[in-house]
Amino acid sequence: MNKQEIEKAMEILEQIYPSQKEIKTGEYDHVADALDTAISALQLQLTGGWIPVSERLPEEKINPVTSDYFEYECTAYWGYGRVDVRHYKFGDGHWWNSPSCVDAYVVAWRERPEPYKEEL
């Protein structure tokens, strides 16, 4: 799907999407959940999964293997037009590049993708 198709699909869903209250008062809880999931999936596809830190921060998770904070893929803006993608840990309400706090530079984040697995 290209950007225009995604935006059109989101527009259609939002037009036919009754309020949560209307759906939840009947026997259609599953419809509300399905529509929320569809709209979220389309939004993620449109943004590549990037979530601005101004919108929300990730939940704090502990990596069971390392017993340290979970890492996220982050877009960092360093000023003077320099932008790059790096992995930072998120914990205690802050972005970390051990041992430094890098909150001032992180502008967006997303879950780290699963590594490629070849089918045998």
Q: Answer whether residue 36 shows pLDDT above 90.
A: no
- The verdict on residue 35 lying in a domain is yes
Which residues make Cβ contacts (< 8 Å) with residue 39, sequence separation at least 6?
10, 13, 14, 17
Kindly state whether residues 32 and 78 are assigned to the same domain: no
Of the candidates 48, 64, 80, which is a domain's last residue? 48
Kindly state whether residues 60 and 35 are assigned to the same domain: no
Q: Three-class SS of residue 76?
A: strand
More confident residue, 75 or 16: 75
Residues 80-96 pLDDT 10s: 989 999 999 999 999 99
Are 89 and 67 in contact by the 8 Å Cβ rule? The answer is no
- The verdict on residue 118 lying in a domain is no
Alpha carbon distance 19, 26 (integer Å): 12
With a pLDDT cut of 70, the percent of the chain lying above it is 87
Residues 15-19, mean pLDDT to the nearest whole number:
66
Kindly state whether residues 9 and 44 are assigned to the same domain: yes
* C-beta pairs of 94-99 under 8 Å, 24+ apart in sequence: 96/69
- The verdict on residue 120 lying in a domain is no
CA atoms lying within 13 Å on the CB side of residue 111: 7
